Amino acid sequence: MAVNDTIQTVTLPVEGMTCASCVARVEKTLKKIDGVEIANVNFATEHVALTFDTSKTSLAALTTAVDEAGYTLVVPPPAAIGHDAADAGEPALSAQEVAYLRLKKEFIFALSITVPVMALSMTSMTDWFMTASPLSMHSINTLLFLAATLVLAVSGRRFYAASWKIGLHGSADMNTLVAIGTGTAYLFSAVVVLFPEALQVSDPSSHMYFDTSVTIVTLILLGRMLEAKAKMSTGNAIKKLMGLQPKTAHVVRGGKELVIAISQVLHEDMLTVRPGEKIPVDGIVTSGQTSIDESMITGESMPVDKSAGANVIGGTINMNGSIEYRATAVGSETVIAQIIKLVEDAQGSKAAIQTLADSIAGVFVPVVIGIAVMTFAGWYVLGGLAFSASMINFIAVLIIACPCALGLATPTAIVVGTGLGASRGILIRNAESLELAQRTTTIVLDKTGTITEGKPAVTDCHPFGEMNEAMLLGYAASIEHKSEHPLAQAIVAYARTQGASPGEVEQFHSSTGLGVTGMIGGKTIAAGSLALMREYGVEANGGEETAGRLASEGKTAIFIAVDNALAGVLALADTIKPSSKHAVEQMKAMGLEVVMITGDTMLTARAIAQTVGIDRVIAGVLPQDKAMHVKALQAEGKIVTMAGDGINDAPALAQADVGIAMGSGTDVAMAAAGITLMHSDLHGVASAIHLSKMTMRTIQQNLFWAFIYNIIGIPLAAFGLLNPMFAAAAMAFSSVSVVSNSLRLKQVRM
C-alpha cells in the first residue's frame, strides 16, 4: 500500500478554552474542514492533536477557522519546527505557564480593586459611615461604578471578548455564562447610577450590584488561576523526560574531542562519556566499561553493566567508568523522544467514558441559559418578585452552572495517570488501553521472554565417573567455544562464571542438529544430543535416566563424552525470571485468570507453569495461531490482556483487548501493543492494570463531583437560595477539587 505523504500530524496549543463546551466547539469547528481526519482536543493540556491532508487544507486555514470560532490555535514559526531545546539555553515557558502567569496578573489586579469595592459597598450601608463620610451616596455609587468598570474592562475582558466572538456564530460556552451574569449585574447597576429616573428606582443604593459583578469575576479568575497551576503539574512527567537529555555532547571528530549542542550530534558520530555525565543520545559502546543508571527509563533500580557492544540510552547516567560509543539514534529517533511522543499522544487521546461528558457539554450551555431565563421569568412574571431580585436569581443560575469541572474530569486524570505510568516505566499508548485494562478478566502470558528470560542458561551440571564439575565444564566450554549455537554460547558463558576458560581445539566439526566434536589435548571430545552419542558409540545408559528427569522439568540435556566414554550431562533451560512467580501470585490476588501460551511442548510448558503457579496452559501453538487462541478466550466473554515480547506475539497483542509489550521485546511487538513496559519485569503487567483501575476510579469520582455541583447548585439558584457570589465560589471550587483529586493519583503505589 502506498504511503500518503500529504498526511500531516501535529499537536498544537489552543488558547481561550475554558470548559468542556469549548472543547466540543473547537473539535466541531476543525472536523468540519475538508481534509481534517482527526481533531482531538485535550482540555487538561490545552492542546489539539490534528491529523490532516495538506493537499486539501493548511495550518493557516485551520488557524483562521479556530480564530473565527473564538479561540486561538498557536502555530510555531517555521524556523522553530524541529528546533532542539538544547540550543535555546534556558527552556521557554510552556503555553500552560504563560496562561497561568497571565491569569495571576489579572487576578491580582481584580483583587486589588474588588477588596476596596466590597468594603465600601458594605460600610456605605451603615449609618455611622454616611454620617462621617464627606461623600454623598451618589458619589460613592459613582466610585463603585468606575471601579467595577475598571475590573470588568481589564480582568473581565477575556470573558466578554470570547463570548462576543462565539456569539457571532450563534454559539455559547462558559464565557457566555460569566459574561451574561456579570454583565447583567453591572449594566443594571450602571443604569441605576447614571439614569435613576429610567428605572424609577426610589432607593438606588438597594439596587447596586457592582460588588457582585467584580467579586464573581475575581472568584472565577481565582478558580482559573488555581486550575491552571494544578494543570501545570499534571505535565511534570513529560517535563522531567524532556529534562533528562544533557544540552551538550563530547564528540570525537577529526581526531579531536569537541563539545557541541545535542542537536548537532549526527548518526555514526563517536561520543565520549565520563563518570557522572549523562549519555547524550542512544548508541552502541565501542570501548570502555562502566555501569549506567537507567532507572528513569526502565524503572530498574540497579545500575546496568556496559561494555563493548552494549546499547546505551540517551539521558541515562554514566556511573563509574569512561566509555566511547557510536551514535545510532539522534533527535526524534531516541528512546526518550519516542517516550515523550507516546506519552503526549496518550494524554491527548480520549477514553470512551469521556464521550458522555463531551455529549453533555455540547448542549449544556444552551440548556443552562434556558433555565436561567425561565428562572427570571418565573420569579418576575409569575412570582411577582422585584426585577432586581429576579435578576440576581438569573445570575446565580448562570454562574453555578459553568461546566469547567465537567471538562476537566476525564483529561486531568488521564494526564496524571499516563504521566505516573511513564515515570514508573509503563508507557500507555492511548486512553482506550488505559480504560480497558481495568476491565481485564484474563491475562495471557507468552512464555519465552515474558515469564522466562528468553535465552538458554545452564541450570544443572552432572559429572559422571571420575570426572568433576570443573573438568566437565572445561571440556564443554572448549568444544562449544567455536560453535555459534545459542546453547553452545550459554555453556561457554556459564563455564566462565564458574572459573573455567575455553582451551585450544583441533579438528573441530559441527554436525547440524546433533552437536560438535573435536580434539583437546589429544582427547576426543563430543558434545551434543543422545543421537550424537550413539553415532560415536558412546555408552550413555547412565545419562539417559538423568536426561529423562531433566526433560520432565522442561530442560534440554547436552551429553559430554571424552574418548568415547560419557563424562557428564549439562542441563539448559530458558530460565524463569526471578520476579515471575510473585507477579503471577499478584495477578491472581487481583482476581485475574492467568493463562500461559507457548509454542513449546506441553511437558516443558507445564513444568514452567507449575513453577510460577499458572493453572491453565496452551502449548504447542504455532506463532500465527496465538491470535486465534486469544480470540477464542474473548469468545468466552473474557476481557483479555496479552503480554508478550516477540514478533510472533504481535498479532495476538493486537487481537487482545489490551496488548502489553515487554521492554526487552521487539519493536514490532511494541508497535502492536497499547501498553509498553520499559523493563522486562512481569510485575509491570499487574501495575499497569492497577494504574488503570485507579485512574478510572478517579475519573468516576471527578465526574461525580462535576455533576453534583450542578445537580445541587442549579435548583438552589433557580429557587433563589444561592447568592451569585457563593455560586461563583462553588463553581471555582468544583474545578479545583476535580484537578486536585486527579493529582492524588501521583500518590498511588504500584
Name the residues annotated as catalytic: 446
Strand, coil or helix: what is 343?
A: helix
Q: Over the Cα atoms of the chain, what is R_g?
A: 35
The whole-angstrom separation of Cα 144 and Cα 189 is 10
Strand, coil or helix: what is 458?
A: strand
Please state, as a whole number, how many other Cβ atoms lie within 10 Å of the Cβ of residue 280. Answer: 29
Amino acid making up residue 250: H
DSSP single-letter state for residue 51: E
| Antiparallel, parallel or unpaired: β 442-446 and 593-597 | parallel
- Listed residue (45, 37, 81, 43) closest to 62, CA to CA: 37
The residue written with cell numbers 489490551 in the block is 658
User: Beta-strand (E) ranges in 484-608?
Assistant: 506-511, 515-520, 523-528, 556-562, 565-576, 593-597
The residue written with cell numbers 456564530 in the block is 169
DSSP single-letter state for residue 205: G
Strand, coil or helix: what is 311?
A: strand
The whole-angstrom separation of Cα 125 and Cα 146 is 19
The whole-angstrom separation of Cα 336 and Cα 245 is 8
- Listed residue (410, 25, 404) closest to 220, CA to CA: 404
DSSP single-letter state for residue 267: T
CB 84 within 8 A of CB 262: yes
CA atoms within 13 A on the CB side of 199: 19
- Listed residue (615, 586, 513) closest to 749, CA to CA: 586
- Listed residue (461, 238, 403, 234) closest to 337, CA to CA: 238
Work out the burial of residue 90: count CB atoms within 10 Å of its CB; fewer than 13 is exposed, 13-18 middle, 19 or more buried.
exposed
- Consecutive H or E run containing 607: helix 602-612
CB 108 within 8 A of CB 201: no
The whole-angstrom separation of Cα 389 and Cα 344 is 49
Dihedral over Cα of 326, 329, 331, 336: its sign: negative
The whole-angstrom separation of Cα 710 and Cα 400 is 7
| Antiparallel, parallel or unpaired: β 640-644 and 442-446 | parallel
Helix locations, 206-270, DSSP H: 210-234, 236-242
